[in-house]
Chains A and B, each alone.
Chain A
Amino acid sequence: MQTRRKTLRNSALVAGLLAASGLFPGYALAFNAKAFEAKNLTDVLKALGLGTPTESKDVSITGPDIAENGAVVPVGASTTLAGVKQLLLLVEKNPSALIASFNVSDSVDANITTRAKMGQSSDVYAVALLADGRVLFAKKEIKVTLGGCGG
């Protein structure tokens, strides 16, 4: 038990260091702490090493217009385009803007739904990263009546 925990901790430390120094590509398995600390869409993409995003009708974000409980807001990101490598979900006004990032393989549809915490009413973005380097996004405003980050 002790050895395994130490090994896990050591590898997590190394992964954290590597991720912080930006050596890991954006879709590596290691936890990209910098991307999760960024405060808005542009900073998240910069932390992941990606270019400027373009709004696109081919990416869609699903979610309620008004979320009664900010602690549990169902949100989904999907796109009909081929060659999607990654799907990101962001909430603009959260202390940590990036909710989740999913690396999609060819065996899954580029269509993910999960539940996020929203601190306040804000824009929610779904960003799709395509294999050809394009960064496309869609956004939706979700109003929150009761904040979800513990306030």
Chain B
Amino acid sequence: MADPMRIRAQAAGGNATVRVLMAHEMETGQRKDAAGKVIPAWHITNITATHNGNTVLTGEWGPAVAKNPFLQFIVKGAKAGDKISINWKDNRGESRTDEATVS
């Protein structure tokens, strides 16, 4: 399906800063194509981030998040070697999960 997400997780001082770049069109449902028909909304609706299997962050996104969304957050108590996984679901029912290890 979509390209894999790029996840960078860096441990610093007991926390890990996680940066994720997801590949997704994020159509707002406002644009019209060349024929004048509205391009239907297609965007990520839910995000779940887990750290070593525990959910640490969930989010709901509307159509106004930019294309190829970027997300940055800080996980407390994460250290090198921990697993961070990000999962998204969009309004077409598709979803994707990618994992990274904290460095």
A residues contacting B by CB (< 8 A) are 5, 8-9, 12, 29, 31-32, 35-36, 71-74, 76, 91, 94-96, 98-109, 111-118, 148-150
* CA gap between A115 and B59 in the complex, in Å: 14
B30 — which chain A residues lie within 8 A by C-beta?
Answer: 95, 149-150
Q: In the complex, are the beta carbons of B71 and A114 less than 8 A apart?
A: yes
Q: In the complex, are the beta carbons of A102 and B75 less than 8 A apart?
A: no
Chain A interface helix/strand/loop/mixed: mixed
Could you give, for residues 41-55 of chain B, a 1 whenever the CB lies within 8 Å of some chain A CB and a 0 otherwise? 000011011010011
Chain B interface helix/strand/loop/mixed: strand
CB A6 to nearest CB in B, in angstroms, measures 10
B32 — which chain A residues lie within 8 A by C-beta?
Answer: 150
CB A130 to nearest CB in B, in angstroms, measures 17
Q: In the complex, are the beta carbons of A31 and B74 less than 8 A apart?
A: no
Q: In the complex, are the beta carbons of B60 and A32 less than 8 A apart?
A: yes
* CA gap between A62 and B58 in the complex, in Å: 20
- Residue ID in chain A nearest B20 by CB atoms: A114
CB within 8 A of B56: which of A29, A108, A150? A108
CB B89 to nearest CB in A, in angstroms, measures 8
Q: A12-B93, A115-B66 are in contact. List 14 more A-B contacts (CB 8 A).
A: A36-B62, A73-B66, A91-B64, A94-B64, A96-B63, A98-B62, A99-B61, A103-B57, A103-B59, A106-B76, A112-B57, A114-B71, A117-B65, A150-B30
